[in-house]
Amino acid sequence: MEETQATNPDDTGPDIDHTLMARVAEGDHRAFRQLVERHQDAVVGTVSKMLGNTSDSEDIAQMVFIRVWKHAKRYKPDNKFTTYLYTIVRNLVYNETRRRSRKRTVSTDQREDDQHLQHPADPADQPDSTLLDIELRAAIDAAIGTLPENQRLAVVLRRYENLPYEEIAEILSTSVPSVKSLLFRARTTLRESLSKYMDA
């Protein structure tokens, strides 16, 4: 019986997510694992970029999929599954950001430890071009991290996940013109923040 329900591993279109969610709603663990495998890298990457690459990004990403599992019976395939998924990401990331803002007691030593964790490589071991790439990526991540929440998420979903404006608007519960405005303001800020790299 399970074999007749198995999903063709070659299926990669968005419709497969709706099929998998229907099976997850029935308690199918295999379908849930397949759903996680399809989207976990994107979710972890988005959470990391939103929260600054911290060690608890994977924990937040895991919470995202726990919510997918728990609420599968209420899932309605009206939109893309990714719209539903990133709406959960948005809610959990925003909650975590607010929790952190209420608990701003991180010591300078801890911040330095976090920086070492994010850039563990010894600069002396890196060629100049690699050093520049690492420095630029770190500068981009840092600049994105300073953006307001909605701007930051719009940039991450557009730049890294290549989502269309319409889907980003659904995730942010706003309009397409508003998304374009968010991205314009974010890009202006990022351009200013990264001007020394662009002029180099």
Q: Which pLDDT does position 135 carry in this prediction?
A: 83
Mean pLDDT, range 73-99, rounded to an integer: 94
Phi and psi angles of residue 99, each rounded to the nearest 5 degrees, phi first: -60, -40
Percent of the chain's residues with pLDDT above 90: 58
Residue 108, pLDDT > 50, answer no
Count of structural domains within the chain: 2
Residue 30, pLDDT > 60, answer yes
State how far the Cα of 162 lies from the Cα of 160, in Å rounded to an integer.
Answer: 6
Domain encompassing residue 13: 1-106
State how far the Cα of 62 lies from the Cα of 72, in Å rounded to an integer.
Answer: 15
Dihedral in degrees, nearest 10, Cα atoms 124, 130, 134, 137: 170
Q: In whole angstroms, what separates CA 28 from the centre of its chain?
A: 26
Dihedral sign, Cα of residue 158, residue 161, residue 163, residue 168? negative
Q: Which pLDDT does position 18 carry in this prediction?
A: 96
Same domain, 12 and 96: yes
Q: Which pLDDT does position 86 carry in this prediction?
A: 98
Same domain, 98 and 161: no
Lowest mean pLDDT of 51-65, 91-105, 109-123, 124-138, name the range. 109-123
Same domain, 92 and 166: no
